[in-house]
Amino acid sequence: MTYSQNQMIIMKTTDYIAQHYQDSIPLSKLLQIANMPKSYYLRLFRQYIGTTPHNYLLSLHITKAKEYLEITSMTIHEIACILGFTDDAAFSNCFRATMKTSPFQYLKNAITKQQIQ
């Protein structure tokens, strides 16, 4: 495969992740889409995206969570459900590990910033 073919395959799987971020996406599904061996796919994914598919999905979850917290009146529970987390604690732990703050504190800070502006 050429450079652009590999890049297109990785883009196809990142598009799939973006469209199904609220679902549990097994690596086997991405391998099926890419139609390539696991080690080769993971190497290409890291080469083009800079991280693993799992971490890419987590990053997408955090990005979406921040959007929901900032621009909607959804509860943390509702956001956790929409993003496909099994429970609020799993969502909060993931958010805290990435953002170094809880979703609740992030929301409080976002509200404070909006009030100042």
For residue 73, the SS3 value is: coil
Q: Which two tokens stand for residue 31?
A: 């391998």
Confidence of residue 113 (pLDDT cuts 50, 70, 90): confident
In the chain, the amino acid numbered 81 is C
Q: For domain 56-115, say whether CATH 3.40.640.10 is its number.
A: no
Residue 24: what pLDDT? 87
Over the chain, what is the mean pLDDT? 92
Section 79-107 average pLDDT: 94
Between CA 116 and CA 58 the distance in angstroms is 30
Q: How many residues does the chain have?
A: 117
Q: What's the one-letter identity of residue 112?
A: T
- For residue 109, what pLDDT is reported? 87
- Within the chain, strands assigned E span none
Between 63 and 113, whose confidence is greater?
Answer: 63
Dihedral sign for Cα 98, 94, 102, 69, please: positive
Domain ranges of the chain: 5-50, 56-115
pLDDT tens-digit readout, 32-59:
999 999 999 999 999 999 999 999 999 9
pLDDT given at position 80: 95
Compare 72 and 11 and report the one with higher pLDDT.
11
Q: What single-letter DSSP state applies at residue 102?
A: -
Tell me, what's the pLDDT at 1? Answer: 58
- Statement: residue 2 has pLDDT above 90: no
| Mean pLDDT, rounded, for 80-105 | 94
Tokens (6 digits) for 24: 């549990």
* For residues 65-89, average pLDDT: 92
d(CA 112, CA 101): 15
